[in-house]
Structure 1
Amino acid sequence: MREREQGLGNVEAESVMDCREKANDELTRNARGKFAHFEDLKSKAHDDALRMPNVRQRMAEWSACMEESGYSYATPKEAYSKWNSEDAKESSENEVSTARADVKCKDETKLVSVWFSAERMEEEKQERKHATYLRKLKEANQRYLENARILLSGTRQ
């Protein structure tokens, strides 16, 4: 959408901005929440799970399995970062074989289930610790969705 706006004149671009601001005001009416803190809580749970001994052990086992398959990666994120490219139109044969080894090693080491359980445990700690904030955020999100339903139905002018 922003690419299309680049070709607009000043008046048209200003009109688009006004429309966007009005839409945002309508969607967020009584529905403002501090979502950045939510992202921080998610990141903390993820990072804390990665530091748990059982996850670190499974990660090391995964890395050793990948090494046995001919690939040297300390973590799945490292492997993903190497192969994830917006420019890639097709997967190379090496990328596909790396992905197969990744899946095989995750399965053999049970990394995903251990990591998921650890992260879920950390999320539940965050949920208990920040229950009031999360309840208010959920309420704001519900109001936002209701505002969207109203706008899409055309009943609010």
Structure 2
Amino acid sequence: MRIFIAIDLPEDIKKDIYNISKNIRGISGKIVEEENIHITLKFLGQINQETLNKINKKLSSINYNKFYINIGDFGYFNNRVLWIKILNKENIINLHNIIDNKLYELNIQKDIDYEPHITIYRIKNIKNDNYLKEYLNENKKIYSNILIDKFYIKESILMTHGPVYRNLYEYKLL
């Protein structure tokens, strides 16, 4: 199974982000579908059921308080990934580090330079950089006080039309 750990966003925010994404012009690539918009805490890749059970046990022992985040503004990774920034990322980074440390006990490698973000577009080619920057600047929005009260282990099922994500386990924050 192809596995990752993630935070879901409220449906209304995912819908709004998707509507901004689908109207982007000046680039070619693959939009992240509305139902797939999330914040990745850790990508694990191919995991067998035995290891998944051990991961679930480790993550079930996490006691972390729920928190609020603000998101907004856009960024790029190597002109290949268009993403939305997490503006107050301390709690997400802390939660990520706790997860990383728990999974390190299972000999799962720690992440280097984790940067919490929301991927909205996988870019193949930027045809008009000026238009893209102008569009993103005009559509910049700040979403405030988004409650983060749970996270998930998700399975990514690769299909011809794109990935389908399925929640396998849910972990509630205190």
Pairwise TM-score range, normalised by the shorter structure: under 0.3
TM-score norm. by structure 2 comes to 0.24
- Structure 1 or 2: more helix by fraction: 1
Q: Which has the higher contact order (CA 8 A, sep 6+)?
A: 1
TM-score norm. by structure 1 comes to 0.26
- Structure 1 or 2: more strand by fraction: 2
Structure showing greater Rg? 1
